[in-house]
Structures are given as structure tokens and as C-alpha cells.
């Protein structure tokens, strides 16, 4: 595996991000000798597909491995799942020297990271990201958490992993729609921070990318680099880190309104279009930028229209974590490659009427 990045979170140890197809070699490189017991946490799919491969590699190093999994999907991203995992770890005698290995997509990493954040008041964890979405986004930044009936990711903690492995071999088994989910977050990184990356996505999509849906390792590395940089500047999301939420105020409401029938990446794709329309309506973003965004998403087979009427999603806007003083906040782009602050703020209050107008149905 190639060491593509070293992340230096404020107040936590630096950790490497490795990317490539040889997971066993990657684990060997990052494994600390003190990690003698591991809770290997995946969902039923990822543990079934890759669990034994990872467990065997760890056992070969003399590590005792407890394999734990839960049903795939957002419905499992709950406090109940976290509790069941913790109880199993306690029953197996894991202590504060144990390590959690999260093996899977963003859901597994969010849950496994949250388990590690509170087990024995916090133990080490390593992420093995197996979806494109987790590789370009969810695996770095230290945000962990679960959903509740009131909204997405409302309960959680900041807890940084000790190492992140981006398993590119796993992407060969990822269904096209899951690749699309990851592409949505990758395009978000381009819109908020890197106009050249956006142009390279356009060229890639026009030259075979729309068929393969698997971006080159360098593109994955650029996306993780953007996320890492934004997070390093503002680890607790007091200011600029909010730009990573472009598309997410609307996206989270869509996920909830559809009971996650529209998954995270696709909901973010629609969210980016609606929030870009809000930016256009405010004279902040050009029509050309909106057209380019819609064209790129469409070319890659991502949705650009909301899957439900505005009235269905409206109640969920009031529960967004970014709300302040009762107002809904969105991170609105000022051009492709930038979310410029307005009066020092990276999110903008928007009204329900503006949202309804941008929703378009
Ligand atoms: N913490 C963060 O910073 C952050 C950032 C972005 C998104 N997220 C969270 O990530 C979640 C979405 O993550 P996701 O899109 O990876 O979803 P996911 O974890 O549900 O994975 C998608 C599906 O693909 C399967 N899968 C995983 N790897 C596979 C492989 N290699 N081959 C075949 N199937 C595979 C999974 O079992 C699942 O069914 C959301 O809950 C979102 O809130 C977190």
C-alpha cells in the first residue's frame, strides 16, 4: 500500500493514510505491537467478504480477534447496535489495550469509531475503508456517531483513528450504485475546494469514467487530502470545516424523509444541486457553475432531482445540527472550487420559502 498522507489532528496523535490493493501488507505496516486483542467490526457484507482475510492476517501476528458484525444499512447505525457491540466486547474480556478495526463503508466506520471513542473511555482504532465514499470522505476527520429517530449523526464523538487503510482491491466488488455514492462526495470536495479537480472529473467522466465509475488512486488521494486539510484547519467544526457540509443540509433531510431509501451519497448529489440553486437565487453562484454541476452528476448517473415533495422533507430541516437560533443553515458555493465566507461565516441562513423554491416541486 502507498502511504498517501500523514494526518496531524490537533490534540491527537498523527496517523497515516495508506492506499492500495495489498491490505495485509498495509496492516503489517501500521500495526502497533501493543495491540494484542482486536474487535474486528464490519457489517454482515463486509465481514463476510473481507473479514476472514483480515482476521487471518492479524492472527498470524499473534493477535486475538473477535469478529463482530451487524446488518448493513442506516437502520443499524443506532445506539442499540453500539451497545450490542460493546456488550460483546466486554463479554469477550476486551480491555483498554484492545483495538477496534472498522472494516467497511461509512456506516461501519462511524459506528466502530464511536464504539472505540467510549469503550473504556476511549481505545485505539484503525479503519479499513471498503467503499469509495468511506475512502474519499468518512475515513478521515475524526467524526464518529449514530443516528436517532430525530435525525442523522445526532449522537457521537470526535475520535481520530490511529491509521486508515483505503483498500482499492475492495472497490472491484462494489456495485456501481455504491461507487456513484462515493463519487458524489468526491465531487463535493471538488466543488468546495478545488476547481482543477472538478475539471479533471469532467474530463475523466467524458473519457471512460462514466462507464468504469472507479476514479484513479491519485484522485482518491486528492479527495482525502482536501478533507484532511479542511479538518486540520478546524477540527471541531467551529468555522471553515462547515464547507464540508455542502449538499448535506438538504441531503440529510432527504435521507430521513425517504427513510434512507435514497442513500447518503445520492441524497448529497441532489442536495448539492438544490443548495447550488439557492446560491444562484442569491446571486452568489453563476448559472454556468450550476449547469456544470448538474451535467457532471447526470453523466455519472447520479440523481439531481428530489425523490419526494418538499412537504415530506420540510420537517427534517428543523433538526439539522447546523441550525442556529432556529434558522436553517447551508454551506453555499461562491464558484466551482470555493465556498467564500460571508461576514466570516461559512454557512448562510436560508428561509423555508427559499428552500421550497429551490426544491422545484
Ligand atoms: N464520519 C464522516 O466524516 C462521514 C462522512 C461522510 C459520510 N459518512 C457516513 O457514511 C455513511 C455512508 O457510507 P457508505 O456509502 O460507505 O455506506 P455503507 O457503509 O452502508 O456501505 C454501502 C453498502 O456497500 C456494502 N459494501 C461495503 N464495502 C463493499 C465492497 N467493497 N464490496 C461490496 N459491497 C460493499 C455495505 O455492506 C453496504 O451494504 C452515512 O451514514 C454517512 O452519514 C460519514
Regarding the beta carbon of 134 and ligand 1, being less than 6 Å apart is answered yes
Q: Which atom of ligand 1 is nearest to the CA of 145?
A: 1
Antiparallel, parallel or unpaired: β 124-129 and 143-148:
unpaired
Residues known to be catalytic: 121, 143, 185, 227, 237, 241, 245, 248, 252, 264
Is the distance from the beta carbon of residue 133 to the nearest atom of ligand 1 less than 6 Å? Answer: yes
Instruction: pLDDT tens for the chain, 361 residues: list them.
Output: 999 999 998 889 999 999 999 999 999 999 999 999 999 999 999 999 999 999 999 999 999 999 999 999 999 999 999 999 999 999 999 999 999 999 999 999 999 999 999 999 999 999 999 999 999 999 999 999 999 988 889 999 999 999 999 999 999 999 999 999 999 999 999 999 999 999 999 999 999 999 999 999 999 999 999 999 999 888 888 999 999 999 999 999 999 999 999 999 999 999 999 999 999 999 999 999 999 999 999 999 999 999 999 999 999 987 777 777 778 999 999 999 999 999 999 999 999 999 999 998 6
Instruction: Compute, in degrees rounded to 10, the torsion defined by CA atoms 255, 261, 266, 270.
Output: -60
Q: 129: Cβ below 6 Å to ligand 1? A: no
pLDDT in the model for residue 361: 67
101 lines ligand 1 (CB under 6 A): no
CA angle 180–182–188, rounded 5-degree value? 105
**Which protein residue's CA is at the shortest distance from atom 39 of ligand 1?**
72
In a 10 Å sphere around its CB, with 0-12 CB exposed, 13-18 middle and 19+ buried, how is residue 281 labelled? Answer: middle
Contacts 24+ apart (CB under 8 A), 195-200: 195/335, 195/336, 195/337, 195/338, 196/337, 197/222, 197/223, 197/226, 197/337, 198/292, 198/296, 198/336, 198/337
At 126-167, the pLDDT tens digits run: 999 999 999 999 999 999 999 998 888 999 999 999 999 999
> Which domains, from first to last, does the chain contain?
2-173 (3.40.50.1970), 180-359 (1.20.1090.10)
Would residue 4 be called left, alpha or beta, if left means φ above 0 and alpha means ψ between -120 and 50 degrees?
alpha
Which ligand 1 atom lies nearest to the CA of residue 110?
A: 1
Amino acid at each position: 500500500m502507498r502511504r498517501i498522507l500523514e494526518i496531524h489532528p490537533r490534540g491527537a496523535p498523527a496517523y497515516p493514510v495508506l492506499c492500495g490493493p495489498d491490505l495485509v501488507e498495509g496492516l503489517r505496516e501500521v500495526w502497533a505491537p501493543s495491540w494484542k486483542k482486536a474487535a474486528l467490526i464490519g457489517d454482515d457484507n463486509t465481514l463476510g467478504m473481507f473479514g476472514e482475510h483480515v482476521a487471518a492476517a492479524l492472527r498470524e501476528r499473534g493477535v486475538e480477534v473477535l469478529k463482530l458484525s451487524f446488518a448493513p444499512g442506516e437502520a443499524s447505525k443506532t445506539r442499540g447496535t453500539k451497545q450490542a457491540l460493546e456488550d460483546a466486547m466486554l463479554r469477550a474480556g476486551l480491555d483498554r489495550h484492545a483495538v477496534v478495526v472498522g472494516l467497511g463503508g461509512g456506516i461501519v466506520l462511524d459506528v466502530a469509531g464511536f464504539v472505540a471513542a467510549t469503550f473504556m473511555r476511549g481505545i485505539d482504532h484503525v479503519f479499513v475503508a471498503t467503499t469509495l465514499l468511506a475512502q474519499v470522505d468518512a475515513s478521515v476527520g475524526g467524526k464518529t456517531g449514530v443516528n436517532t429517530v430525530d435525525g442523522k449523526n445526532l449522537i457521537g464523538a470526535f475520535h481520530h483513528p490511529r491509521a486508515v487503510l483505503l483498500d482499492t482491491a475492495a472497490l472491484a466488488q462494489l456495485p456501481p450504485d455504491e461507487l456513484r455514492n462515493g463519487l458524489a462526495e468526491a465531487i463535493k470536495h471538488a466543488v468546495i475546494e478545488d476547481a482543477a479537480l472538478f475539471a479533471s472529473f469532467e474530463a475523466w467522466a467524458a473519457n471512460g469514467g462514466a462507464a468504469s465509475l472507479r476514479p484513479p488512486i491519485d484522485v482518491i488521494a486528492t479527495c482525502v487530502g482536501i478533507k484532511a486539510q479542511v479538518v486540520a484547519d478546524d477540527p471541531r467544526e467551529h468555522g471553515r470545516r462547515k464547507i464540508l457540509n455542502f449538499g448535506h443540509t438538504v441531503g440529510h433531510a432527504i435521507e430521513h424523509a425517504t427513510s434512507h431509501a435514497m442513500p447518503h451519497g445520492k441524497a448529497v448529489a441532489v442536495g448539492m444541486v438544490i443548495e447550488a440553486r439557492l446560491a444562484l437565487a442569491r446571486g452568489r453562484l453563476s448559472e454556468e457553475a450550476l449547469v456544470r454541476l448538474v451535467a457532471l452528476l447526470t453523466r455519472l448517473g447520479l440523481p439531481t432531482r428530489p425523490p419526494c415533495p418538499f412537504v415530506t422533507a420540510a420537517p427534517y430541516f428543523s433538526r439539522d445540527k447546523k441550525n442556529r437560533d432556529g434558522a436553517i443553515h447551508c454551506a453555499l458555493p461562491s464558484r466551482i472550487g470555493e465556498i467564500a465566507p460571508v461576514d466570516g461565516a461559512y454557512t448562510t441562513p436560508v428561509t423555508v420559502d427559499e428552500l421550497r423554491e429551490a426544491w422545484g416541486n
